[in-house]
Amino acid sequence: MERFQPHLFEANMNDRNGASKKVKISISEQRRKLKPEDRLIISLDTGSKETLVSLCRRIGGKVSILKIGLELIYNLGFDAINIVRSFGYKIFLDSKLLDIPNTVRGAISGIANLKPYMVTMHTLGGEEMLSAAVAFFKQRVASIRDSLPPLLFGVTVLTSLNDRDLSNIGFRESHLSLVCDLASIARKSGLDGVICSPNEVSIIREKYGDNFYIATPGIRLPEDLLNDQKRVGTPRKAISSGADFIIVGRSITSKKDIGNAIDRFLDEISGEV
C-alpha cells in the first residue's frame, strides 16, 4: 500500500456549550460514521423541472445526497441546485471539470458560491489541474461565509468504457491499470477520493488505504438492464469491496415504487457495513 500524509478536511461541530466550530477530521474517521442512507447517492438524470420536483418528493428523504449532472445543469441551469436543496438534500455536483488549470480555477470561483457537498473533476486533467483546483477551492471557500470546502472526487475511467474502447482511443494499458494510475494522481493532488466502477474498488482500497473515499457508479441489481454501462457490479459487491458511496440512477428513478427500490438498495448496503 502506498503511504500518504493523512488527509484532513473541515467540518462543523458543536462544542460543549452548543457553539458551532470548525474542526479537522480525517477521511478514515468520517468514513466510519457513514450510514446506509449517506452511502446511497441517487442520480437525477432528467432535464425536466417537473420530473425533478417529482423525484425529490418521491425519494422522500430516504437518502441524504442527490447527484446533479450535466443533463440537469444544461437544461435547468443552477436553479436545479436550489430546487434539490429546498427538499433538504445535500448536493453532489457532477461537474466533471476538465480544462487548463486557469479555466478550472475560474469555474471553481462560481461553483464555490453554490456550496455543493461533493464536486467531480476528471483526473485526466493531470496533477497540475487537480492540485490547482484543490488549492483554489480552499482559498475561495475561505472567503464565503458559513462555507466549507466540498469533497472533491476525481473521475477515473467512465463506466461506459471497456478495454476495447480505451484501445480505440489510443490507450495501451487496461482499464484497471489506467484507473489505478489516475487514482494515484488524484491522491497525490490532494483530492478526497475517486469515482471508479465496482470492479476496481478492492485494488484501490488496498493501494490507498482507509483515508481515501471511493464512489462507484455502474451499480446494478442482477435483474437490471445494463443500458450504456459496461463495467458494472451489484451494490453488495461494491460496498464489500470497500466503496463508501454507490451512485444509482435509472435502477431507482425508473421504478414505479421508488421508495421500495431505495429500500432494497439500502438493505444491500446494510448487509455489508
Active site residues: 96
Instruction: Show the cell assigned to 269.
Output: 448496503
Number of other CB atoms surrounding residue 222 within 10 Å: 5
CA distance 237 to 268: 9
Number of other CB atoms surrounding residue 140 within 10 Å: 18
